A and B are shown apart, each in its own frame.
Chain A
Amino acid sequence: MSFSNIRREDASRAVIVHAILLTYTLVALYPIFLIVINAFKTRKGIFRDPMGLPNAETFSIEGFTKVLAKSNFELFFYNSFTVTIVTIVIVLLLASMAAWALSEYKFPGNTALALYLAIGIMVPIRLGSVSILNLIVDLGLVNTLTALVLVYVAQGLPLAIFILTEFMHQIPKDLKEAARCDGVGEFKIFFAIILPLIRPAVATVAVFTMIPIWNDLWFPLILAPGDGKQTITLGVQQFIGQYVTDWNAVLASLSLAIIPILILYLIFSRQLIRGLTSGAVK
């Protein structure tokens, strides 16, 4: 009797929790859903019934053909992809090594250095836009993807180091010492033992780092707005005019822009789940 009561209570609680989560998911996904359905409609269809699904009358892929034929869409894609991937690789490598040093080795100024890096989480990098632009101009890197990569690495490092340091603290001390007794060098310990063990954290950090970069409009606009160096978010802007906005093209390119980041996310989140289930030490 009491068992079934407890179970019913648990069940109702589960229903409530899931209802809340589902509602949130719907709210979060609805704009994306709108973008995608409207991308497959004619211009008239978009304005007459923005919420409606494309039907026989309103269905059209003119937005996609326009985007793919009339703009350098592949190039924008390529630029965004390059910047994102190169940044992720550099951030993950540098941040994990820094986190390892901060968590594993005792040296003077260890805590001060960790704090200094943490300050980067609290100060938005956009506050320094003017100085950054000056610096990039002085370095002669305006209109290069390198400029974007450098800025994004700086933007991503503090949080990445913070998260990874916390995770590295959790790796049992015995494991590192066993490796040292095993004759494993410090570099090898890091790459062959520590990194595989914190893979879930690395995947988390990769997702955290990747999404703001992919979606960023600000830095591409001020640092690399030139022809041939535009990223996808900047590329979309060409369809938004002062007087006329080509909504078909804008929505189509936004829909397309979701795909690569979705694929990357799926790859990393899979790592995340696999990491969580295979990490048991004892």
Chain B
Amino acid sequence: MADLKLDQIRKRYGAVDVLHGIDLDVKDGEFVVFVGPSGCGKSTLLRIIAGLEEITGGELMIDGDVVNTKSPRDRGIAMVFQSYALYPHMTVYKNMAFGLKLDKQDKSAIDARVREAARILQLDQLLDRRPSELSGGQRQRVAIGRAIVRQPKVFLFDEPLSNLDAALRVQTRLEIAKLHQDLKSTIVYVTHDQVEAMTLADKIVVMNGGNVEQVGSPMQLYHHPETRFVAGFIGSPAMNFTNVRIDAVAPGKVTVSAPGGIKSVLPFEVPQSEVGKIVELGIRPEHLAPGDEETLSVNGEVDVVEKLGDSTYLYIKLANGDRVTVRAPGHSRIKIGDMVTASAPAGAAHLFDGDGKAFVKVDYPAEFSAEE
């Protein structure tokens, strides 16, 4: 087990820059998730850590050693692939023992490690089967087992759940979380699914276009997104955005308005120079509720209603054409075509400038803060 340090990591394919200088510190035993849309460079970054891609610039350190030019086998990593990548002509047991046998380890020691991994992953009964005789979930467990037996310094997971069906994905996700608790190992995990990121990570790295947008704990990213991209990416359903105009600013206060409804004073520190500019206001669906009891209210016609049982999502069309999602209680009787007002506390709002950077919020009510 070890820590991992990335210092200005760059990657270029020919003339195309894929990674523009990534800095990252991963502490020993930390579960780090790289998350972002397709093509943001997260898989490339993982492959660079694994040693499957060359580094164009920067320095990569595992356990204090610079490993830029080391081959994967000398880095002390183990990787789990999306496609499982099991050796099809070997049994489950051999799949797991294959890497160890090459290290010329003692046979009984290998056997003990394979059986221990099989026990942890409940593969005991399947050791003599071939990959083609296993279900998707079992194959993924074998792939994880193959990583465990190597006792690597760092585990790398490349979208390991993407090929599983929804129910199995939830189950395997829990198993991975439990595995991390048991092994206390350093894990780097790549996914495009923000739910996986939120549930598994100690630390999430949100990537976009070859840059790191923000690094933080799941709750930090949820409550204090630094950019509009992070705000829109983390949380499900996604955060609502609508354009508002800054009418006036005072220390720790900003007055915003939009034609056809919104007019509100919000607790943000905004420079005087922003007055008159159009900025983006973000509110999460779960912070909005039907009714006008709270400070920040929107209203419009209900477009679509989604009933999930425990809650109902209302899609409201605002006067300016933006659509806002509101989470209503499960028993809500609001129908399509109803005019609805929904409101949220001012502290739940997020405000982003023209470049997508968040304005500093000065007042965090406890329920909208990552502080404990």
Contacts and interface: CB of A to CB of B under 8 A. Distances in A.
Are chains A and B native binding partners rather than an unrelated pairing? yes
A185 to B, nearest CB: 7
Contact of A182 (B84, B99, B131): B99
B85 interface: yes
B88 A278 contact: yes
A281 B131 CA distance: 8
A278 B89 contact: yes
A280 B83 CA distance: 13
Interface stretch (B71-79, B258-266, B290-298, B346-354): B71-79
A184 B98 CA distance: 8
B77 A181 contact: yes
B98 A172 contact: no
Nearest to A177: B52
B81 A184 contact: no
A179 B85 CA distance: 9
A180 B143 CA distance: 14
Interface in B75-119: 77-79, 81-89, 98-99, 102-103
8 contacts: A181-B50, A181-B77, A182-B102, A183-B72, A188-B102, A192-B98, A278-B130, A282-B84
A206 interface: no
B317 interface: no
Interface residues of B, number: 30
A282 B50 CA distance: 23
B146 interface: yes
Interface of B: 50-52, 71-73, 77-79, 81-89, 98-99, 102-103, 130-132, 143, 146, 150, 156, 163
Given A197-B88, A278-B88, A184 B83 contact: no
Interface in A171-196: 172, 174-175, 177-185, 188, 192-193, 196
Contacts of B103: 183
A172 B163 CA distance: 16
A185 B102 contact: yes
Contacts of B51: 180-181
Interface residues of A, number: 22
Nearest to A193: B87
B146 A182 contact: yes
Given A177-B52, A178-B79, A280-B132, A183 B85 contact: no
A226 interface: no
Given A177-B52, A193-B87, A184 B71 contact: no
Contacts of A278: 88-89, 130, 132
Given A182-B150, A278-B132, A177 B99 contact: no
A184 B88 contact: no
A174 B81 contact: yes
A50 interface: no
A197 B87 CA distance: 9
The 7 closest A-B pairs by CB, nearest first: A182-B99, A183-B73, A178-B85, A174-B85, A181-B79, A196-B89, A174-B81
